[in-house]
Amino acid sequence: MTAITLYMAPGTCARVPAIALEEAGVDFETQLIRFMKGQHKSPDYKKINPKGKIPALVIEGEALTENVAIITYLNQHFPDAKLMPKTEDAMEKARQLADLCFCSATLHPIVTRIRMPHFFASEEAAKSVWEKGCDSMHEYFSMIDERLGKQPWWYGESWSAMDAYLFWIYWRVEGAEYPVNNFPNFSAHKSRMEQRPAVQRALAREADAMAQLEAEGLVFTPKPV
Ligand SMILES: N[C@@H](CCC(=O)N[C@@H](CS)C(=O)NCC(=O)O)C(=O)O
């Protein structure tokens, strides 16, 4: 059996590979990283991810970071799981990468501005960071909403890890006062995601991790805008 460990914290983008692993039906363990203790910046964790970020995946003793790379690897390592649409076409493969990069490199930084504007500005200016984040997000949420109005999943009739990524992005900004209700097709996509047993299992792992943090008094709560 392959030994797989996912380094995660509840609510983070580690949800994306957690869902992918659950969808693939493989055995894996999760290791909770405690942000409030600075564990992600500790020398021990930096041996796994020198960038001090979550997620990191350790598989067969090898550490891999960055969601795009982790999803791409899992897709190749577990081909039967069909985490991304099957294709041998170089352009199609590159377009799938572009989609994952859109989530990690375009949407995720905007999510952070909406969710944690205080990281980017003084107390007085935080509200304007949040507003500008929301303004930037509208264009992309409209685009995603339009696409999901025509089909249940990002790639049509078949679920993919792109849907897991979009699910996390939606959920994260929903909890930061972003007006998600303006995007009914994206909201319906979230509901479809919540019905998937693999998603429920991934969320249950996060709930366990959150309970652990609560018990230790280590829950991180960003300042309200
Ligand atoms: N580009 C990375 C981003 C990872 C990332 O920013 N993770 C956040 C959690 S969602 C994190 O570890 N934040 C802690 C910090 O930056 O100190 C990826 O896609 O995996």
Give a yes or no: residue 188 inside a domain: yes
Domain enclosing residue 57, as ranges:
4-82+198-216
Residue 221 in any domain: the answer is no
> Is residue 225 a part of any domain in this protein?
no
- Ligand 1 centroid – CA 93 distance (Å): 25
The answer to whether 4 touches 28, Cβ cutoff 8 Å, is yes
Ligand 1 mean position, distance from CA 135 (Å): 22
In a domain, 138, yes or no: yes
| Domain contains 224 | no
CA of 182 to the centre of ligand 1 (A): 27
Q: What is the CATH number of the domain that holds 55?
A: 3.40.30.10
SS3 124: coil
| Cα torsion angle, 137, 143, 148, 153, sign | negative
Report the predicted TM-score, pTM, of the whole model to 2 decimal places: 0.97
Q: Using CA atoms in the order 197, 202, 207, 213, what is the torsion angle rounded to 10 degrees? A: 170
Residue among 40, 51, 54, 73 whose CB has most ligand 1 atoms within 8 A, to mutate: 54
Do 124 and 192 sit in the same domain of this protein? yes
Q: What are phi and psi of 150, to 5 degrees?
A: -100, -15
**Domain identity same for 49 and 109:** no
Residues 9 and 36: beta-carbon distance below 8 Å: no
Q: What is the pLDDT along the chain (225 residues), one digit of tens a residue?
A: 569 999 999 999 999 999 999 999 999 999 999 999 999 999 999 999 999 999 999 998 999 999 999 999 999 999 999 999 999 999 999 999 999 999 999 999 999 999 999 999 998 999 999 999 999 999 999 999 999 999 999 999 999 999 999 999 999 999 999 999 999 999 999 999 999 999 999 999 999 999 999 999 999 988 878
Instruction: Confirm or reject: Cβ of 53 under 6 Å from ligand 1.
Output: yes
Q: From the DSSP assignment, how many helices (H) and strands (E) are in the chain?
A: 9, 4
Let me know if residue 135 belongs to a domain. Answer: yes
> Is there a single domain that holds both residue 140 and residue 152?
yes
* 39 touches ligand 1 (CB under 6 Å): no
